[in-house]
């Protein structure tokens, strides 16, 4: 019998299939071939899945490295690179041996860091096709949104107005930032004449003593919240006071104007507040001493990590501690005759510059201003007073001084309209974001007061009045009546009406949507926003804060390369 006559019967009944041996052999061959293909496909799927999982690990390592390193930018690329490399290594990817870790700043934004990791991933089944490894590349870009600079675009902060009066340098309440014959203070001495003077920014840096009350306009330095209808401790009290950033691109000196306390007016009589406006608040006067402390910190390229800051050894120590100074030249004869008991002469730096630090190397520093002595709980515990000051950076290059995160300002308001620098938001920082401006206790002025916001992105990089939304905390409306406690899409807030305000001891939270086209047509003074204040009369202490809403350190989407086989 020939093989061709052999049959294979599959099944029974009408559906049975008869196959010849030849046909059966062909099926076996086809099955073997299909099984090989199936195994190959399963192997490819396993290898691709393994590569995909490793790609996720590489991406996460690149993300973590970029976010860890970007906090050192823009000032310290070396530390940014070493930190990013260290984090990549901690996640299993070290530069060398087939793996590359590349760290570089984004050339279009010095506050963004790019990290690219390329690493081989072994294969298993597809080695049969000659592919031994996948080469996978993943990139991450992290952005660092620094706290926005506040209060000054210049090399000094907190300078108000002086004019000459009978040979004395006298602050005139209500002086304008642009008025004829009015100027700021000199950079190098106690004379206030000539072209050497610094132009006024409209207000002085200010701080209220620990024994004072928050309701007087300083949200953080006083430990108390007293005064009807408020009472008790100040929940926002911070013994560290305020920090002001000083940038010295080429090194230099840091000076403080009128750093100590010297009473220039009696409060609450309202008739004084001369000079830099130093004054006791309420009763007691000179029987209560005032202490102010200045300390210089090096941020060590980590401005958002105070734990990494170190003191430079430059501080005021006890130089401006327990002061009861009284400036007889800037009080009336009746005030001098009835000045509080215990007052003394002013210190040597009254209405003059005191050098906090000199010969400092290039870098970024923080000047801490506080009225709390951490080593003596009795100092300033019962004193309610306010001290005014100014800070200047002196050096080559373009030194800068500005508030960061928050600042307390004694506003030298005059009848009419004035502008105050509030925050700088550049184009990369602001595009598509929302600017929040917080104001504490505005409106303590006579008559009426209206607050508006000037943005820097008008046509051709000019200023323009902007619309905004605002809300307030639960204190709104407790002390007076002016504007509503919240509103949307408005162009102004009436902070005082006939001498009465809804916003005493109250935070106003202003939000300004910036839009994706922010800054595309240019920005006034590089992105400085201003508060425009129109008032009847008065002097007002307020606390300001400003920030761009969003995480300070975050990832920026960027396209990822396609994996390549080797």
Of 444, 411, 445, give the one whose Cα is nearest residue 530. Answer: 411
Angle at 264 between CA 260 and CA 266, to 5 degrees: 120
Q: Which of 4-13, 53-62, 64-73, 327-336 has the lowest mean pLDDT?
A: 4-13
* pLDDT attached to residue 372: 95
Query: Is residue 223 pLDDT above 90, yes or no?
Result: yes
Q: What are the φ and ψ backbone dihedral angles of 31, each rounded to 5 degrees? A: -65, -40
Q: From 396, 412, 428, give the residue that closes a domain.
A: 412
Tell me, yes or no, whether 32 and 115 share the same domain. Answer: yes
CB 511 within 8 Å of CB 470: yes
Summarize pLDDT for 99-117 with one digit per residue, the tens: 999 999 998 888 899 999 9
Query: Is residue 188 pLDDT above 50, yes or no?
Result: no
Q: From 135, 162, 182, give the residue that closes a domain.
A: 135
Tell me, yes or no, whether 190 and 246 share the same domain. Answer: yes
Tell me, yes or no, whether 201 and 304 share the same domain. Answer: yes
Tell me, yes or no, whether 208 and 127 share the same domain. Answer: no
Q: Is residue 562 part of a domain?
A: no
Q: Is residue 7 part of a domain?
A: no
Q: Is residue 555 part of a domain?
A: no
Rg (CA), the chain: 34
Q: Which of 126-135, 271-280, 529-538 has the lowest mean pLDDT?
A: 271-280
Task: Please tell me the pTM assigned to this model.
Answer: 0.78
Of 385, 392, 325, give the one whose Cα is nearest residue 357. Answer: 392
Highest mean pLDDT among 137-146, 277-286, 329-338, 535-544: 137-146
Residue range of the domain that includes 59: 17-135
Angle at 147 between CA 144 and CA 150, to 5 degrees: 145
Q: What DSSP assignment string belongs to 302-345?
A: -TT-GGG-EEEEEE-TTTTSSB-EE-GGGS-HHHHHTPPTT-BP
Q: From 101, 135, 169, give the residue that closes a domain.
A: 135
Query: Is residue 561 pLDDT above 60, yes or no?
Result: no
Tell me, yes or no, whether 389 and 262 share the same domain. Answer: yes
- 186-206 burial, b at 16+ Cβ within 10 Å, e below that, comes to bbeeeebeeeebbebbbbbbb
Tell me, yes or no, whether 91 and 154 share the same domain. Answer: no
Q: Which of 6-20, 302-316, 552-566 has the lowest mean pLDDT?
A: 6-20
Tell me, yes or no, whether 231 and 249 share the same domain. Answer: yes
Number of Cβ within 10 Å of residue 305's Cβ equals 11
pLDDT > 70 fraction of the chain, expressed in percent and rounded: 79
* pLDDT attached to residue 167: 42
> Mean pLDDT throughout 433-460?
91
Q: Is residue 331 part of a domain?
A: yes
Summarize pLDDT for 473-483 with one digit per residue, the tens: 999 987 667 89
Q: Is residue 566 part of a domain?
A: no
Tell me, yes or no, whether 322 and 362 share the same domain. Answer: yes
Q: Is residue 39 part of a domain?
A: yes
Summarize pLDDT for 263-311 with one digit per residue, the tens: 876 543 333 443 457 888 876 566 689 999 999 999 987 787 788 899 9
* pLDDT attached to residue 177: 41
Tell me, yes or no, whether 169 and 271 share the same domain. Answer: yes
Our count of domains for the chain comes to: 3
Of 236, 201, 126, give the one whose Cα is nearest residue 565. Answer: 126
* pLDDT attached to residue 338: 80
Tell me, yes or no, whether 202 and 76 share the same domain. Answer: no
């Amino acid at each position: 019998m020939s093989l061709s006559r052999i049959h294979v019967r599959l099944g029974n009944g009408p559906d049975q299939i008869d196959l010849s041996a030849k046909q059966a052999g062909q099926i076996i061959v086809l099955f073997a071939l299909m099984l090989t293909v199936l195994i190959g496909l399963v192997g490819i799927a396993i290898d691709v899945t393994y590569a995909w999982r490793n790609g996720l690990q590489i991406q996460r390592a690149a993300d973590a490295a970029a976010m860890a390193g970007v906090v050192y930018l823009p000032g310290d690329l070396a530390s940014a690179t070493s930190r990013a490399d260290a984090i990549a290594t901690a996640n299993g990817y070290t530069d060398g041996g087939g793996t590359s870790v590349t760290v570089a700043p984004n050339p279009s934004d010095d506050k963004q860091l790019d990290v690219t990791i390329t690493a081989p991933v072994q294969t298993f089944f597809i080695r049969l096709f000659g592919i031994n490894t996948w080469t996978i590349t993943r990139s991450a870009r992290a952005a660092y949104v620094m706290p926005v600079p506040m209060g000054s675009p210049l090399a000094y902060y907190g300078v108000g107005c002086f004019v000459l009066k009978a040979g004395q340098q006298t602050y005139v309440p209500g002086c304008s930032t642009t008025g004829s014959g009015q100027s700021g203070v000199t950079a190098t001495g106690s004379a206030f004449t000539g072209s050497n003077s610094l132009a006024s920014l409209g207000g002085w840096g200010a701080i209220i003593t620990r024994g004072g009350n928050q309701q007087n306009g300083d949200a953080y330095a006083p430990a108390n919240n007293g005064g009807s209808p408020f009472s008790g401790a100040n929940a926002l009290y911070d013994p560290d006071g305020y920090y002001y950033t000083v940038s010295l691109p080429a090194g230099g000196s840091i000076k403080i104007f009128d750093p100590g306390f010297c009473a220039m007016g009696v409060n609450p009589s309202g008739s004084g507040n001369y000079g830099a406006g130093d004054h006791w608040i309420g009763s007691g006067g000179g029987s209560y001493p005032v202490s102010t402390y200045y300390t210089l910190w090096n941020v060590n390229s980590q401005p958002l990590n105070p734990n990494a800051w170190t003191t430079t050894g430059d501080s005021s120590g006890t130089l401006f501690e327990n002061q009861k100074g009284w400036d007889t030249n800037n009080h009336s004869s009746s005030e001098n005759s009835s000045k509080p008991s215990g007052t003394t002469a002013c210190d040597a730096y009254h209405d003059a510059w005191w050098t906090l630090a000199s010969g400092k190397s290039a870098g970024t520093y923080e000047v801490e201003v506080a009225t709390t002595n951490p080593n003596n709980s009795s100092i300033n515990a019962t004193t309610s007073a306010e001290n005014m000051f100014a800070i200047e950076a002196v050096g080559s290059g373009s030194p800068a001084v500005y508030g960061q995160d928050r600042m307390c300002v004694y506003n030298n308001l005059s009848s009419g309209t004035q502008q105050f620098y509030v925050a700088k938001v550049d184009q990369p920082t602001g595009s598509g974001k929302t600017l929040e401006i917080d104001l504490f206790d505005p409106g303590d002025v006579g008559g009426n007061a209206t607050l508006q916001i000037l943005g820097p992105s008008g046509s051709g990089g000019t200023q323009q009045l902007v619309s905004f939304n605002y809300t307030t905390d639960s204190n709104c409306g407790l002390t007076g009546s002016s504007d509503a406690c919240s509103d949307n899409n408005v162009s102004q807030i009436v902070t005082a009406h006939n001498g009465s305000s809804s916003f005493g001891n109250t935070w106003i939270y202003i939000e300004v949507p910036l839009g994706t086209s922010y800054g595309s047509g240019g920005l006034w003074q590089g992105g400085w926003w201003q508060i425009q204040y129109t008032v009847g009369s008065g002097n007002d202490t307020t606390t300001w804060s400003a920030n761009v809403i969003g995480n300070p350190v975050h990832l920026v989407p960027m396209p990822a390369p396609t994996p390549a086989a080797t």
